[in-house]
Structure 1
Amino acid sequence: MRPGDDVMAVLARAVRDVEGAVARRAATPSVRAEFQAIALLLREERARVVADESSSAAYRSEQLKRLDGIAAILGRVAVRDSALLALLADDAIPSEGAKERRRDMLKAVGIEPEPEEPPVVEPAVDPALAERQVVPQSVISRQLANPFLAPDFEAARPAPARPRRLAGWELLGPLFSSFERAGGGAPACMELPEPAPWQVPAGLELMPHQARMVAAAAAGHRTFLLADEPGLGKTAQSLVAAEVSQAYPLLVVVPNVVKTNWAREAGRWTPNRRATVIQGNGERIDGFADVVIVNYEVLDRHVGWLGDFGFRGMVVDEAHFIKNKTSQRSQHVLELAERIRSRTARPLLMALTGTPLINDIDDFRAIWQFLGWIDDTQPLGPLTDCLEETGLTPADRSFYPAARQCVIDLGIVRRRKVDVAADIPARRIADLPVELDDKAGRSIRAAERELARRLVKRYESALAARESATVVEGIDHGLVRKVAGWELKDTSTKTAGENVFSMMRRIGQAKAGLAADYAAQLARSAGKVVFFAKHVDVMDVAEETLERLGVRYSSIRGDQTPTSRQKNIDAFVNDPDVAVVVCSLTAAGVGLNLQVASNIVLAELSWTDAEQTQAIDRAHRIGQTEPVTAWRIIAAQTLDARIAELIDSKAGLAARALDGSDEETQSSADVQLEALVALLTQALVQPEAYAGRS
């Protein structure tokens, strides 16, 4: 029989230690491991006592009461720190630290723990999902065109293992703990070389902080946790780093909302490299591309051929998406990284996230594993070498700052806006194009074609009815402007058919969920976010999306009383848990001070640059200590993109007029007219693009 009284005594002492530790400070990883070990052993001991028929009922009752007392203390401790509550769940996965502590407790009372069965490695592609796997025809064509292109397995082979002084130590727990207890206020950023003048496309320039990171890649560094705050150009840094590292073909795994933007940025920063985006089953991808961009949501369909494609580099954007190692997308990402390492000598691996840590320090685990710094149980390769070279063990206090630096030197790069304020403008607008490839998107494109066809019909009728003998070769641009003006004038009286206003509203509704999703990502990465929309229904969709994502928000609308409005403003400004304020562009575009945020999401376009600037100035005002970035969500390949270009072309006219320019400022009607002119002109130039159905 197991010596139950001895186990009970160990549990009682351990639970008192945990209770005292949590009362003094927040639970550290070692305290959480102790807490979970107690919960595991408590559950086992209860089952043993209940099943022990050789003892009297009175004895069993007494033992169960003692166990209930320990359980009650555990419950009180968990109430003080909500992060511990999840560890009491029956399906909670024991951490390696908790399993090790449980074994130590059993050994302390003379019980040899049962040997653990090796973990069952689940296949990356679940059999139930295997039939969803696809291989696009263009990928097959590429494979047939390169039948003798063999991977460099020899170059990727790891060096023979050497005897290790730290072989008997559990190191992952101390490594994670070192980032909680050994920071000392020092930034977690590797030492980067001085920037060098890199050859980038004309009209583009790397900022100094970007050039330093690229210089590290050029010097031979190949793994990076790039944790710069949003707005500091992580996408550009990654693409140029891939270029200087010759890490092609390059795989880029991203959230759906930024997929189109990655393709656009690849075209800007590496125009000599072909980029392709995987949509759905990949029927339209370019199998010969240098940069392959795929979103997490469709990764399961393509993981098979992606693993055999021969990538020499991999970038994972918003890498905190893979923090849950039990999720399918995390398993796919980790499998792809491992297959790339097995086939390529020193591939470029980059994890991009402004928020490497969301819940606790253990969120590092999946990211470090993707980068090849650790596996499930221990540090690997260069990290192990660095820890050995310190000459220290986790029993030494000085081990923790040394271990933290070892990890940082592997490639953690973290800069804040305030740290590089001299590198970036005090206020800038960053366009984020999104693809509307769902049913709503198809409907919008069909409606836009219908509007274009109506304009063409009106133009042709006017052309046929014209009495003038003057013949204009090609497109009569004067008549085009007249037709656009007639359409704009008639818009207010028409009751049927799409017009420029209804089109923009529908586009706003279709973008709302994507824009809110991006706002949530920003909030997790960089703190508070101001979200602007023009229409109430767009605000409704945004708020529903934020609620579904578990992001707290406040709302500023035109129909609120002054008291309610101020209450919502105060909640956003003063409550650290309120991450987003959803604002009406007309109700909150002026008169508010929202400088607590430095990131703004413009979910719908204004008709004038002045209206857009007023919204941005809610955060960009005296007292703002950080550069402000306005993220403008643009629906690609729609009227939205044309209007964005028109607004930009008119930007600054008001300022120039105030400074004495003779050029007239533009009104919202000018932009609306020019949008219709652009739509009609394109329909006349490319009639085939506007023929037929969607």
Structure 2
Amino acid sequence: MADMAEFTRAELAALLSRADGVIDRARSLTPLIDAPALTPSTRGTVELPEGIGWLIPPGAVDWPADLYAYAELERLPGAREQLRRWVAATAELPALREKARHAAPGLLRRIFGGTGLAQARQAAGQLQGRLSEPEVVDVVQAAQQTQARGVYLQPGVHGTPDHFIAAARAGFEQAVGHRGLHFTRHDADQQSRVLSRARVLQHDPHSEPALRAGAERLLTALTDERARILLRQLPVDALRTATSQRLRFAGLETIGVATVADVLDLPVGRLTQVRGIGVQTARRLRAAAETLRREAVATHSTGIGDTATAAATALVRVLAQFDRINTLDELQRARRRRILQYSAEVPAGGGIWDVALTAETADWRQFTDDIAWADAHREILEPARPVSVGEQTWADYLSRPAHYQGLLATLLDLEVEGGEDLAADTLERIRSLRLDRTHLTELHLRGYQSFGARFSLVQEKVVLGDEMGLGKTVQALAVAAHLAAEGRRHALVVCPASVITNWVRESRRFTDLPVYRAHGPEKEEAVAAWSDTGGICVLTYDGARTMQIPIPDLVVVDEAHMIKNPAAGRTIAVRALIDTASHAVLLTGTPLENRVEDFATLISFVTPDLISAGMSGMAAVDFRVRIAPAYLRRNQVDVLDELPEKLEQLDWIDLSPADERHYAGAVRQGSFMAMRRAAMTTPDVVPAKLERIREIVAEAEESGRKVLIFTYFLDVLDVLAADLGERVVGCLSGAVNPAARQELIDALSTAPAGSVLLAQITAGGTGLNIQSASVVIIVEPQVKPSVEAQAIARAHRMGQTSTVLVHRLIGDDTVDERMLEMLVGKAQLFDAFARPSESAQVHDAVDITEGQLAEAIIAAERERLDYNP
């Protein structure tokens, strides 16, 4: 019988070795019979931003040892059941192998072996007969051998079968929890070069990342300082608002506790020295104070403020350094910041990497484009040169705070653009447009301002409805500068006469384009010169109606609500200009919700296809979505993360001929006071400054605001009271007693939007809290800057919930302008004003005597007007 065959020692050793191999294979394959899907470890991969996929460097994935074997069992019909039966059949092999190991005995054992030898030989024969393996085992072994040569996610010279590649991909998808990934390959050599340079830049102490970290640290310190100031102003009984538990305050004054800050400064043991305050009550007081402190910190503003604290001055110096090295536009900066982010997340190393993408999206192209762009523009990742800033940094900040706030928002990436209602493809076109700044000068555009300009360029004809104080003018100038760089050089600005001077000055300040003032006796010549050379031509609505205007490339319509009546002559004239121009920007700060019908009219001027019958009856939200392609509005609370406590601007006023004659008479008389108020007291006409005040008050009413108007002169107050009529709730002067003053302030708080409180600046500028007003008009410059600062502080103080808008009215080429020039010049001579010292916080440090100022200004104006003997 075969089962009783004799074995030599060599034959038996071979049989036993073969049995060991089968037993081991059976044991190793047993887990595959009922195993769930095998999941690799992907800890070495890099998830790309925006959830677009994963970078997979070589060796980043730890693959399960039997990944391919499992795949074969899944692929072949009945393979798993066949393996199950074979494994079950091998269950008795270990016992047979144990018996069979004595089947080749020595001489004595062969002679005296008896039944034991016979059983061993029988077991060896049975073992030999059962060691055959089914085909499925060979397949599994082949799969294991294939995996030993490497796991691949892409076909290649390695020759891995497609179904194994599919198994690896499925395993990766299982590991990252995303099905349907697209797998590709990526040459990481260029990436390695770029990111190694980015890592060097990331740690450069002079570059933007280091300045950003410093700014964040200093802003936190500034927030803490402000929180302490607030807590020092809160009385101790304010702690009741922070807890529902009972607190005791009686007797705290005996240990010097009057404010919330005092409670924080004292240990619990000190608080318990007050009779009636035990440990538990003291701890409640401290806990409530800490709650208020956290709330104060959490509600911080990123406004730098006007107090030269250590943190504020250090922050301004960091921003000045950033200003010196900041040469990138918003698209370049966004690219570099993404590359710096990649450098912190993507491991070093080149070669060919696998990539798994959620889809073949623009986001992956953005990653590869960013890398290629940075490799081609090596200067973008060069370490910054060390820069130093002068001792005048704080003074420079005070002279242009909006510029520094813009730098802070840019550095900390706090910009909010707006435009959420726009279609995705339109947003992509706007964000991918690089704004040409060739013709812009001294202008740091905020992120939302750049977006507004690019929105206007992409959509071509739009209504820009940003809230007051957000810089609609500079956005329009950025559009003009971009078009001029493309060869479309004729920009036309149509505006009220009261802001002609402002437009001319802003255009000359922020662009290098020729600027023409088409208003006054030489307006025809100005238009002709503009037609020949291009540039920016500024004219009034009447000028647009009465003059022959060549076809412009860009029309900017300021205060566009003035053309809401389609039948008006000026509307017809401006509409014709809009129709012929390739681009148009209509500027208005009037809130959309108040006048849906008027806005429909304006939208019809720029994109008539968006308007249909019955739109005036639509809900404001639906209307806004409908007109989103042509209308962009941002509110301060939406786009100004710092929520500046005050936005100050100079309103340059172009005097009328009657104003000029009246002013010249005051100069001829040599009367400084008459010169200062001449632009408000011209007889028999509406003075130019008064026209501007009317506009500001009307705009304030549209925006739900109330107005505080300051002047030095009683007769100017009389002019204002007579003209503004029922809008005026009262007039604060030295003749009004304190009780009556408070009554007038209370009346303003309950008065409707557009109401006005008049005040003589020497009487109403101190000792009052007038938070209900959020628009401040200073009719004429004051001899002492401290007087203006105190007046503004009446509305710009704790408890004010709205941003305070400050308008300083400056007559063009008058005593107002001379005062500004001389006061600024004098201020630069005071070292205290330029340094972070106690004296720099006192506005009177830059005051000069009225006699000196009056004498110098009268002489200058007499010389200008040729009135000197």
Structure 2 length-normalised TM? 0.45
Deviations 1:224-260 (A, max 9, x none): 2111111111111111112213353122111121111
Match of 1:522 among 658, 677, 699: 699
2:419 corresponds to 1:240:
no
- Deviation, 1:574, is 2.0
Cα 1:691–1:558 change in 2 (3 A) is closer
Which residue is equivalent to 2:461?
A: 223
**Matched residue of 2:526: which SS?**
coil
Distance between the aligned counterparts of 1:194 and 1:521, measured in 2? 38
**Do the aligned partners of 1:530 and 1:582 also contact (CA within 8 Å) in 2?**
yes
Which residue is equivalent to 1:364?
A: 599
**Do the aligned partners of 2:778 and 2:809 also contact (CA within 8 Å) in 1?**
yes
- Amino acid across the alignment from 2:546: R
2:612 corresponds to 1:355:
no
Which residue is equivalent to 2:575?
A: 334
Deviations 1:407-465 (A, max 9, x none): 11x231111222233367433421111111221322313543x3xxxxxxxxxxxxxxx
**Do the aligned partners of 1:609 and 1:651 also contact (CA within 8 Å) in 2?**
no
Deviations 1:250-287 (A, max 9, x none): 22111121111001111112222333232267255252
- The number of residue pairs the alignment matches comes to 429
Distance between the aligned counterparts of 1:436 and 1:623, measured in 2? 37
Match of 2:852 among 667, 673, 683: 673
Deviations 1:314-353 (A, max 9, x none): 1111111122223332232223323x1xxx5xx1111111
Cα 1:210–1:572 change in 2 (3 A) is same
Distance between the aligned counterparts of 2:721 and 2:759, measured in 1? 10
Deviations 1:188-242 (A, max 9, x none): 8655638967636453311222122123245x22122111111111111111112
**Do the aligned partners of 1:595 and 1:623 also contact (CA within 8 Å) in 2?**
yes
Match of 2:496 among 255, 259, 267: 255
Distance between the aligned counterparts of 1:189 and 1:568, measured in 2? 43
**Do the aligned partners of 2:494 and 2:556 also contact (CA within 8 Å) in 1?**
yes
Counterparts of residues 130-169 of structure 1 (less than 5 Å): none
**Matched residue of 1:288: which SS?**
helix
Distance between the aligned counterparts of 1:678 and 1:312, measured in 2? 43
Distance between the aligned counterparts of 1:531 and 1:348, measured in 2? 38
**Do the aligned partners of 2:498 and 2:688 also contact (CA within 8 Å) in 1?**
no
**Do the aligned partners of 1:647 and 1:671 also contact (CA within 8 Å) in 2?**
no
**Do the aligned partners of 2:711 and 2:778 also contact (CA within 8 Å) in 1?**
yes
**Do the aligned partners of 2:560 and 2:586 also contact (CA within 8 Å) in 1?**
yes
Which residue is equivalent to 1:292?
A: 537
Name whichever structure is richer in helix by fraction.
2
- Amino acid across the alignment from 1:292: C
**Do the aligned partners of 1:189 and 1:415 also contact (CA within 8 Å) in 2?**
no
**Do the aligned partners of 2:776 and 2:805 also contact (CA within 8 Å) in 1?**
yes
Which residue is equivalent to 1:579?
A: 755
**Matched residue of 2:648: which SS?**
strand
Match of 1:405 among 622, 625, 639: 625
Cα 1:645–1:427 change in 2 (3 A) is farther
Which residue is equivalent to 2:270?
A: none
Which residue is equivalent to 2:447?
A: 208
Which residue is equivalent to 1:271?
A: 512
Which residue is equivalent to 1:501?
A: 673
Match of 2:734 among 531, 535, 558: 558
Cα 1:615–1:565 change in 2 (3 A) is same
**Matched residue of 1:193: which SS?**
helix
- Amino acid across the alignment from 2:566: K
- Deviation, 1:359, is 6.0
Cα 1:692–1:646 change in 2 (3 A) is closer
Distance between the aligned counterparts of 1:664 and 1:217, measured in 2? 42
- Amino acid across the alignment from 1:518: E
**Matched residue of 1:431: which SS?**
strand
- Amino acid across the alignment from 1:269: F
- Amino acid across the alignment from 1:291: I
**Matched residue of 2:545: which SS?**
helix
**Do the aligned partners of 1:227 and 1:354 also contact (CA within 8 Å) in 2?**
yes
Cα 1:563–1:431 change in 2 (3 A) is same
- Amino acid across the alignment from 1:204: L
Deviations 1:107-159 (A, max 9, x none): xxxxxxxxxxxxxxxxxxxxxxxxxxxxxxxxxxxxxxxxxxxxxxxxxxxxx
Structure 1 length-normalised TM? 0.55
2:710 corresponds to 1:532:
yes
Distance between the aligned counterparts of 1:502 and 1:658, measured in 2? 38
Distance between the aligned counterparts of 1:650 and 1:500, measured in 2? 19
- Amino acid across the alignment from 1:659: S
Distance between the aligned counterparts of 1:532 and 1:555, measured in 2? 10
Match of 1:316 among 551, 554, 557: 557
Match of 1:325 among 556, 566, 572: 566
**Matched residue of 1:593: which SS?**
coil
Moved more, 256-265 or 191-200: 191-200
CA RMSD of aligned residues (A): 3.7
- Deviation, 1:538, is 1.3
- Amino acid across the alignment from 1:570: D
Which residue is equivalent to 1:177?
A: none
Where relative contact order (Cα < 8 A, 6+ residues apart) is larger, the structure is 1
- Amino acid across the alignment from 2:699: L
- Deviation, 1:590, is 1.2
**Do the aligned partners of 1:189 and 1:413 also contact (CA within 8 Å) in 2?**
no
Q: Which runs of 5+ in 2 are unaligned?
A: 1-417, 682-686
Distance between the aligned counterparts of 2:655 and 2:843, measured in 1? 36
Distance between the aligned counterparts of 1:606 and 1:536, measured in 2? 14
Deviations 1:467-497 (A, max 9, x none): xxxxxxxxxxxxxxxxxxxxxxxxxxxxxx3
Distance between the aligned counterparts of 1:669 and 1:252, measured in 2? 39
Distance between the aligned counterparts of 2:809 and 2:783, measured in 1? 14
Cα 1:188–1:447 change in 2 (3 A) is farther
Q: Which has the larger radius of gyration?
A: 2
Distance between the aligned counterparts of 2:640 and 2:631, measured in 1? 20
Match of 2:816 among 596, 618, 640: 640
**Do the aligned partners of 1:532 and 1:584 also contact (CA within 8 Å) in 2?**
yes
Counterparts of residues 334-483 of structure 1 (less than 5 Å): 334-338=575-579, 340=580, 344=581, 347-355=582-590, 357=592, 360-374=595-609, 404-408=624-628, 410-422=629-641, 425-448=644-667, 450=668
2:616 corresponds to 1:616:
no
Cα 1:374–1:599 change in 2 (3 A) is farther
- Amino acid across the alignment from 1:673: Q
**Do the aligned partners of 2:710 and 2:778 also contact (CA within 8 Å) in 1?**
yes
Which residue is equivalent to 2:399?
A: none
Distance between the aligned counterparts of 2:662 and 2:843, measured in 1? 37
Deviations 1:150-179 (A, max 9, x none): xxxxxxxxxxxxxxxxxxxxxxxxxxxxxx
Deviations 1:662-693 (A, max 9, x none): 99955755355245335536866x7xx51599
Q: Which runs of 5+ in 1 are unaligned?
A: 1-185, 380-386, 388-393, 451-496
Cα 1:600–1:649 change in 2 (3 A) is farther
Taking only the aligned residue pairs, the percentage that are identical comes to: 26
2:723 corresponds to 1:545:
yes
**Matched residue of 1:354: which SS?**
coil
- Amino acid across the alignment from 1:349: A
**Matched residue of 1:250: which SS?**
strand
- Amino acid across the alignment from 1:529: V
- Amino acid across the alignment from 1:279: G
